[in-house]
Amino acid sequence: MPETLLFYVLSGLAVGASALVIGQRNPMYSVLLLIVSFAALAGLYITLDAPFVAMAQMIIYAGAIMVLFLFVVMLLNAPQEDAAEWDRTHPLRRPGVARIGIVLAVLLVAELGWALAKVASLEGAVGGNADGAAIASVREMGRVLFTQYSFAFEATSVLILVAMIGAVVLARREGDA
């Protein structure tokens, strides 16, 4: 029972913080709330008997990546997000891009509702994790990662490499060596 309570508290924190991330005018607060959300996710991983994943989440996302985010926000020193002209009008009267965004948001909510309806009972989804013990062992996780999921693992690393090269190409000014 305490595990279920913990699940609701942590997931509530994660969802609430994530919602507030996009609701903030100040990018600094958004970054901090995102860290809260990541920390809550790490807590959820711990309740799923995956302490290694939880700590990797804390070190990589909450620790390293968000510090870089914070660094960029501080360097730009943007106290307020620029509010566009149409920002204060009714959501349905905004230009095309915003409308597509709204459609996608509605779709996402519908999908989430559908997925939750498919799960017979939430209790079962929280407690009964069959391969939780396997994830707990780092050795086992490494083995699975480099055998069973090696293709997905390599594909992800290539994807990240491509994104990195893309960022370098985009950021490079004309005329630089």
Partner 1 sequence: MDLRLLIQFLIIFAAFFMLVNASAVLVLAERKVMGFMQQRYGPYLVGPHGMLQPFADILKLLMKEELRPKGADKWLFTLAPILAVTTAFAAFATVPFGGETTFFGLLDQPVKLGAADVNVGVLVIFAITSMGVYGIVLAGWSSNSKYALFGGLRASAQMISYELSYATALAAVIMLAGSMSVREVVDSQAGTWFGVLPKWYIFLQPVGFIIYFIAGIAETNRAPFDFPEAEQELVAGFNTEYSSVRFALFPQAEYINMVTVAAVATDLYLGGWHGLLPFYTPLDPLIEQWNIGWLVFFAKIGGILFFYIWMRWTVPRYRYDQLMKFGWKYLFPASVINLLVTAAMVLYFNA
Q: Which residues contact partner 1 by CB under 8 A?
A: 28, 32, 35, 51-52, 55-56, 58-59, 62-64, 67-68, 70-71, 74-75, 77, 136, 138
Give the residue with the Cβ less far from partner 1, 28 or 144. Answer: 28
Token pair of 133 as six digits: 């013990």
Q: How far is the CB of 168 from partner 1 (least distance, A)?
A: 17
Residue 127 beta carbon to partner 1: minimum distance, rounded to whole angstroms: 21
Residue whose CB is less far from partner 1, 103 or 138: 138
How far is residue 177's CA from residue 172's CA, in Å, rounded to a whole number? 9
CB 17 within 8 A of CB 41: no
Q: Are 31 and 7 in contact (CB under 8 A)?
A: no
Q: Which is nearer to partner 1, 2 or 96 (CB)?
A: 2
Least distance in angstroms from the C-beta of 32 to partner 1: 8
Burial class (CB in 10 A: 0-12, 13-18, 19+), 41: buried
